[in-house]
Chains A and B, each alone.
Chain A
Amino acid sequence: MTEPNSARNATAPMIEMRHVEKFYGPFHALKDVNLTVAKGEKIVLCGPSGSGKSTLIRCINHLESIKSGEITVAGHRLSDSQKAVDAVRREVGMVFQQFNLFPHKTVLENCILAPMRVRGLSRAEAEATGRKYLERVRIGDQAAKYPAQLSGGQQQRVAIARALCMEPMAMLFDEPTSALDPEMVKEVLDTMVLLARDGMTMICVTHEMGFARQVADRVIFMADGAIVEENDPESFFRAPAHARTRAFLGEILHH
């Protein structure tokens, strides 16, 4: 889907977190988090609420700042400098639980804003890109509508298209289906599967274990701000090593 930058080492990890520590006041939100994500790899992050999984991915594009540790994205070392933050955000797309579409802009306008303002595309170029990705998420016919005129599932697909318009090297999903009515979950997951098949590097915070089985290369379980366990989906679901993982899976799979 995106052309890898030839100047970059092809074997270098797309996303790397080393010894990341994060606090909210006295609350220790992330405890010595280490994570390496290869190009094209799909990671599913799960865990009970408050376990730090959303915080973890929000640190990757600096929506949250970290206390210590290192985060590198597509060769860009993240720091508090705006330049470093911009370089990382340029490469990483994000999809939110609440969609966060811009309600005063049409679907197409939502998609072209960042390409024009950040990548410097002309309106015509940005619209062509926008239409391409709206088609990709099968919502091209809604381009002229406002977000409020669409269903939740459609809005989330627009949000995915909006992120793709920046042609990112990796995508972060923060519980993308949690705010959706059950009948709309599938259309969003299908879109994400499509994206995964195209080779996008993805980190998905989700409790959709069917999705995890289908596309994840690794499933990571977090609790109390730390990574407790990670494994390929097959082993993860069949033989979880930790008691906490077993308890969690028991909770979410038995209803």
Chain B
Amino acid sequence: MGILELTYLLQGLLWTLLLAAIGFAGGIVFGVIVALMRVSASPWLRIPAIGWIGLFQGTPLLMQLFVAYFGLPLLGFDVPAWAAVSVALTAHASAFLGEIWRGAIQAVPRGQSEAADALGLPARSRMVDVIMPQAFKLSLPATVGFLVQLLKGTSLAAIVGFIELTRAGTIVSNQIYRPLLVFGVVGAMYFALCWPLSLWGRKLEQKMAAATAK
């Protein structure tokens, strides 16, 4: 495998990172909305959020990518592959992060919202100033864990022809007929991204366990 092939793989890696970043950033924005809807007292907000989460947790990411890639053009949106993949990853991440944060919001002790209520804080301030900062901290290990999942999940975008790291590996492998070497390198690249993240997530978890034990 020469410099040319390696450069090609690195380009794929860049797309993988970009897809993960878009999915994660979009997932954060919409995930907060999903989580807030999910814990809302109003059934008009809560039930759609439950449906949204169920839909994306109950179907394979691969299928979600297919639906976005083939479904968006059917709906009249003529979007490039990367955009369709981004939409699917964002929706997917919003459901999973929404559910993670729903759990974290509900894990903040009741006394915290009671204290906020007793002080007369408006609902918005109670959420933004009191509950969400604590929920965010509680959710960090699970959130980092999901980021690792999402990063690996971007490899499924290869199936709709998008040239990210896995697809780039397939192409290179078909050219130089050395699949073991090529996919070994591809695997090592994924590992180099995901392993430090996993370690970080574990460290956060230990730190939090130590804090609660105190």
Contact = CB atoms under 8 A, between A and B. Distances in A.
A122 to B, nearest CB: 16
Interface residues of B, number: 18
Contact of B117 (A63, A102, A103, A162): A63
B25 interface: no
Given A63-B114, A100-B109, A117-B125, 20 more contacts: A61-B117, A63-B117, A86-B122, A89-B119, A93-B118, A96-B111, A96-B115, A96-B118, A98-B111, A100-B111, A102-B112, A102-B115, A103-B134, A113-B130, A114-B120, A117-B122, A117-B129, A118-B119, A118-B120, A166-B120
A86 B114 contact: no
Nearest to B115: A100
B130 A102 contact: yes
Nearest to A113: B129
Given A96-B111, A104-B137, A148 B214 contact: yes
B107 to A, nearest CB: 13
Contacts of B130: 102, 113
Contacts of A102: 112, 115, 129-130, 134
Interface residues of A, number: 24
A213 B108 CA distance: 38
A114 B111 contact: no
A163 B133 CA distance: 21
A86 B129 contact: no
A90 B119 CA distance: 7
B114 A100 contact: yes
A212 interface: no
A104 B118 contact: no
Contacts of A100: 109, 111-112, 114-115
Nearest to A82: B123
A227 interface: no
Interface of B: 109, 111-112, 114-115, 117-122, 125, 129-130, 133-134, 137, 214
Interface string A114-151: 10011000000000000000000000000000001000
A162 B130 CA distance: 14
Contacts of A94: 115, 118
A89 B134 contact: no
Given A96-B114, A117-B125, A148-B214, A86 B134 contact: no
A86 B121 CA distance: 8
